[in-house]
């Protein structure tokens, strides 16, 4: 399966291409540092400037949080979970780290496949 990745949309000329890339891309938001053994919040959001559809045949089915090659968490969505309105799907994951992390998120669109975020490095003290 092809894995799609975010491209800096400010470098693209066509609005349709910016919309397509942005609304499918996963973004990881969290602090740069975490404390070993303490709960740590990681927000994953799909889309930034553009909202993703929530139609019967076109919606975000799941979001996963990864540390390197190890999946830490997953949440699933069904069609209509966002009220059948375009929306930036987002979820907060709470994990308890034990060592430094290389976090990425993946999101699966039922129409446009798998999308992966940029890597977010987190130092655990």
pLDDT of the chain along its 125 residues, tens only? 788 887 776 776 777 778 788 899 999 999 999 999 999 999 999 998 889 999 999 999 999 999 999 999 999 999 999 999 999 999 999 999 999 999 999 999 999 999 999 999 999 99
pLDDT recorded at residue 98 = 95
Q: How far is CA 119 from the centre of its chain?
A: 11
pTM over 0.85: yes
pLDDT recorded at residue 43 = 98
pLDDT recorded at residue 113 = 93
d(CA 122, CA 124): 6
Per DSSP, the residues of 12-64 read ---HHHHHHHHHH-EEEE--SEE-TTS-EEEEEEE-SSSPBP-BTTB-EEEEE
With beta carbons less than 8 A apart as the criterion, state whether 42 and 95 touch.
yes
Domains of the chain as residue ranges with CATH: 3-124 (2.60.40.730)
């Amino acid at each position: 399966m092809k894995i799609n990745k975010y491209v800096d949309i400010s470098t693209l000329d066509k609005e349709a291409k910016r919309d397509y890339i942005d609304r499918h891309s996963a973004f990881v938001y969290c602090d740069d540092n975490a404390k070993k053994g303490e709960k740590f919040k990681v927000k994953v959001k799909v889309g930034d400037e553009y909202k993703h559809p929530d139609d019967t045949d076109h919606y975000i089915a799941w979001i996963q949080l990864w540390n390197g090659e190890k999946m830490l968490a997953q949440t699933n969505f069904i069609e209509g979970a966002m009220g059948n309105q375009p929306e930036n799907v987002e979820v907060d994951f709470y994990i308890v780290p034990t060592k430094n992390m290389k976090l990425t998120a993946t999101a699966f669109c039922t129409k446009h496949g798998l999308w992966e975020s940029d890597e977010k490095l987190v130092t655990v003290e």
